[in-house]
Structure 1
Amino acid sequence: MTILTPALDPAALRAIPGLILPGDPGYDEARTPWNLAADQRPAAVAEPTTIADAARIVGAVAALGLRIAPQASGHGAMPLAERGLSDAVLLRLHRLTGVSIDAERRVARVVGGTIWREVVDAAAAHGLAARHGSSPDVSVSGYVLGGGLSFYAREHGLAAHHVRAFEMITADGDLVRASADSEPELFWALRGGGGSFGAVVAMEIELLPVAEVHAGMMLWDMSAASAVLQAWRDWTRDLDRCATTSLRLMRFPPIPELPPFLSGRAVVVIDGAILADEARSADLLAPLRALGPELDTFARMPVAGLVDVHMDPPVPSPAVVDHVMLGELDDAALAALLEVAGPDAQDAPLFAELRHLGGALAETQDAAVPGFAGEYALFAVDLVPVPELILAATARVCAIADAMRGWAHGAPYLNFLDRITDTSTAYAPDTAQRMRRVRDTFDPARTWLAAHPVPEGAVG
């Protein structure tokens, strides 16, 4: 299906209250996402502060026949920037925030652009935990719509599988509630299917009855990479699902903003969380501690502290990424990774990461993303301090992914792919067909522009 966009009429857009157009004060700030490497230049930007305001803007823009790109924090903004937004309105939801906790039901209602830090803190006040990501300032909505991989995941599964309800604005500007009992097909699609169906402005998510967690990090010099990588791989093979960890091969620039133990260094870091008591956690971690890390912060902590353990950048940053879902890692796989990201790698990116999957993540659910077939998720990241370096940085992260494609297994995790991607690789054919039927019901005119759209194909 070909979508024809009418000629852009700036005067018609300017007549819609709440839109910011090129040349207006605040346009550059409004169009800038968290990933500063993504240069978004939409026909207009909307920053609603209420659900009613968002619905009004959507209805008015759609009535002009224009397309709309919903976006919250903008961590995964690169695909929209690469496609171009010159004939579309960017619907930024980062000012539409709020969280309320129903402690008795262990449910949080989270408004559109709310970031995880706010939810984690609100839930922790009631002795509860959320299935948040590794970064505190990722939006809940974008994270969940892509699946939602947390340090609770091997025990408690994807965040998308634990949503009670979504509230979504359709292309007509109407508000629809999707749950297992109301609009169940839309509910199915939103649990991992991305932003092709509408603008999600609120959701009800299940919370965990967890007040403390055993979490932290261990750090070694990069010279120990071979021994640590092999030991961690062996350790994860039969690991209790209560433990969810990652391993990163990291290179830090020599800048004063970093603590001395990181500035200018190449290191190996293992971090994550264990949902077990003190004694059981110590037993599980013993094989890693036997490797003699120079830093070991694993300890009992309030759940609110877990959101900072991964040390993701605390402020908007320019970055490029690549990702491959992997199966079993044999010794040849470890050697391939060390060649491009280990001690002797000549042009490695900021970090190459392996996240351990399995456990509850391998147990399929009735959702657009049913689970993960892969055993590890590879995620490579490099920073882009100036735009002129984006090609070189992209080449570095792609080199990491390319080196590991021989061990690829399972559909990719789209939240880890911040570029234009063939989404047909992310969904089984019958899943993609079901997603298209849902999209045709709720967005027959293809009003919505998603970072990772529904795969195209004939609807049966």
Structure 2
Amino acid sequence: MSSQPTGSAPATFQTGFPIRPGRLVEAATPDDVREAVVYAAARGLPVTAHATGHGLPGAVEGGVLVSTRALDSVAVDPVRRTARIGAGATWGAVTAAAIPHGLAPLNGSSPSVGAVSYTLGGGLGILARQFGYAADRVRALEVVTADGVLRRVTPEREPELFWGLRGGGHRLGVVTALEIDLVAVERLYGGSIAFAGERAAEVAGRYLEWTRTVPESLTSSLAALVHPDLPQLPEELRGRYVVSVRVAFTGDAAEGERLVAPLRGSGPVLADSLREMPYAESPTIHSDPPFPHAYYGEGLALRELDAGRAARVLELTGPGAPMMTVVQLNHLGGALAGQPDTPNAVPYRDAGFLLRLLSPLGGTDVAAVRSLYGEVSGVLGPLVRGRSLNFSFGGGDRTAGLHEPETAKRLAGLVSQFDPAGLFGGPY
């Protein structure tokens, strides 16, 4: 275990908000995590975990930050179709370990995101409508609780803690590893179709109609942004406002082509990457930026969305917006709408869509971003069910709306039982 005093901070993907722990612990083993928690508890210091740093840790100012980056082991059991994933492993590493066995995890769109952290927040994957949340497929977790005990949590041994850790986030302890089911997927039909942003409202309206017709085996999202004028981007996208539909479908390519055909008439197509691909190429569907940067973001779970409100959201966040804003609308439903065999704390399963907003912060005032997001929320009004734990980037103290009231109350009861002193951030 490496322990460093005040002033130390780990490398982080999110660079927009400084992390100032009183002590940084670079854990090499689960026992290092246990020792760090015992150290923090004895001194009444807040403690939180940090893997890749795509999100932000909770209360860490002057406290103990445990870096789990070195706990990055991945072990696949092809017979049981499971993987044991260390807290520092990325989705890219898990996918690479599963692919040789004809298997895939329920990973998100970015291969550099920490698999364990993403799963604790629910885990919305690229095949989510068919297979549900990543948290739904967790079999066991290994977690250090506030009393300094390293526990193996299963439905049989710790049923209530097992419920809360899957979808409740990081406030019940430091998870050092989890065991998760894999799915038998080797290839898919997927990619994106990019349309000229001048037709954004029409594309969005047609997309919303189209989502009512597709099977659960097709997961999709719509994205809209003004692309920066950078040489690494395709020439047809540089500096342009573009609306794209991203698709991941586990059926064959011919059926995939038939399903997406209604979208192709939405407007002039600037780029089309839809194709059959090995699962290893699935990160190209979204092409999330691989480099660290500063950003602020919000995720809003919506009951439903109509074309009129969608058009107004795109108007507010498009080329006339006061700052660059990336909009992504994820189609939910399907397997996401039902509870797994062993229920968990993942909220808002009745939501039809997830609206994600993200704004780079280089030279942009956070207050101005929040003001714009407030306007968007106002347009959506009663359609907003709540907020997404995995996609609320920046301001780790913004916990309102992350779970339904009854779920939040149940999680608060778990905090009172397992962390009465609020070592990991206090009540929900």
Into which bin does the TM-score normalised by the smaller protein fall?
over 0.9
Deviation at 1:240, TM superposition (A): 1.1
Q: Does 1:214 align with 2:189?
A: yes
Deviation at 1:296, TM superposition (A): 1.2
Q: Could you say which residue in structure 1 is the equivalent of 2:38?
A: 59
Matches of 2:64 and 2:219 in 1, distance apart? Answer: 39
Matches of 2:265 and 2:252 in 1, distance apart? Answer: 20
Q: 2:23 aligns with which of 21, 30, 44?
A: 44
Deviation at 1:253, TM superposition (A): 1.8
Deviations 1:139-181 (A, max 9, x none): 1111111101011111111110110000001223221011111
Q: Secondary structure at the match of 1:290?
A: helix
Q: Could you say which residue in structure 1 is the equivalent of 2:362?
A: 385
Over 3 Å counting, the alpha-carbon distance change for 1:321 and 1:370 in structure 2 is: closer
Q: Could you say which residue in structure 2 is the equivalent of 1:178?
A: 153
Runs of 4+ aligned structure 1 residues displaced above 4 Å come to none
Equivalences for 1:57-456 in 2 at 5 Å?
57-77=36-56, 80=58, 85-291=60-266, 292-342=268-318, 345-347=320-322, 349-365=324-340, 366-369=343-346, 372-386=349-363, 389-399=365-375, 401-418=376-393, 419-420=395-396, 423-449=399-425, 454-455=427-428
Q: Is the 8 A contact 1:249 1:352 kept in 2?
A: yes
Matches of 1:327 and 1:348 in 2, distance apart? Answer: 27
Q: Secondary structure at the match of 2:119?
A: helix
- Indicate the RMSD between aligned Cα atoms, in angstroms: 2.0
Q: Secondary structure at the match of 2:31?
A: helix
Matches of 1:371 and 1:103 in 2, distance apart? Answer: 32
Over 3 Å counting, the alpha-carbon distance change for 1:21 and 1:142 in structure 2 is: same
Q: Is the 8 A contact 1:225 1:342 kept in 2?
A: no
Deviation at 1:47, TM superposition (A): 1.3
Q: Could you say which residue in structure 2 is the equivalent of 1:14?
A: none
Deviation at 1:56, TM superposition (A): 2.1
Deviation at 1:402, TM superposition (A): 2.5
Q: Secondary structure at the match of 1:154?
A: helix
Q: 2:2 aligns with which of 18, 22, 35?
A: 18
Over 3 Å counting, the alpha-carbon distance change for 1:67 and 1:338 in structure 2 is: closer
TM-score (normalised: structure 2) = 0.93
Deviations 1:178-230 (A, max 9, x none): 11111111100011011111100000010001110111011111112122111
Matches of 1:252 and 1:454 in 2, distance apart? Answer: 40
Matches of 1:390 and 1:412 in 2, distance apart? Answer: 18
Q: Is the 8 A contact 2:83 2:180 kept in 1?
A: yes
Q: Secondary structure at the match of 2:210?
A: helix
Q: Is the 8 A contact 2:317 2:325 kept in 1?
A: no
Q: Is the 8 A contact 2:22 2:62 kept in 1?
A: yes
Question: What count of residue pairs does the alignment treat as equivalent?
Answer: 424
Q: Secondary structure at the match of 2:167?
A: coil
Give the aligned residue type for 1:39.
P
Q: Give me the identity figure in percent.
A: 35
Give the aligned residue type for 1:324.
L
Over 3 Å counting, the alpha-carbon distance change for 1:142 and 1:397 in structure 2 is: same
Matches of 1:254 and 1:186 in 2, distance apart? Answer: 48
Matches of 1:18 and 1:142 in 2, distance apart? Answer: 22
Matches of 1:74 and 1:316 in 2, distance apart? Answer: 9
Deviation at 1:257, TM superposition (A): 3.5
Give the aligned residue type for 2:227.
F
Matches of 1:150 and 1:412 in 2, distance apart? Answer: 17
Over 3 Å counting, the alpha-carbon distance change for 1:346 and 1:442 in structure 2 is: closer
Deviations 1:355-411 (A, max 9, x none): 11111111134111155221111111111124x644444444444x32543252423
Give the aligned residue type for 2:14.
N
Deviation at 1:321, TM superposition (A): 0.8
Q: Is the 8 A contact 1:145 1:190 kept in 2?
A: yes
| Runs of 5+ consecutive residues of structure 1 not aligned to the other structure | 1-16, 456-460
Q: Secondary structure at the match of 1:246?
A: strand
Deviations 1:75-105 (A, max 9, x none): 121x73xx6x333111121222110100010
Give the aligned residue type for 1:246.
S
Q: Is the 8 A contact 1:136 1:308 kept in 2?
A: no
Q: Could you say which residue in structure 2 is the equivalent of 1:3?
A: none
TM-score (normalised: structure 1) = 0.87
Over 3 Å counting, the alpha-carbon distance change for 1:107 and 1:22 in structure 2 is: same
Over 3 Å counting, the alpha-carbon distance change for 1:436 and 1:406 in structure 2 is: closer
| Runs of 5+ consecutive residues of structure 2 not aligned to the other structure | none
Matches of 1:397 and 1:252 in 2, distance apart? Answer: 20
Q: Secondary structure at the match of 1:117?
A: helix
Deviation at 1:417, TM superposition (A): 1.2
Give the aligned residue type for 2:19.
Q
Deviation at 1:266, TM superposition (A): 1.3
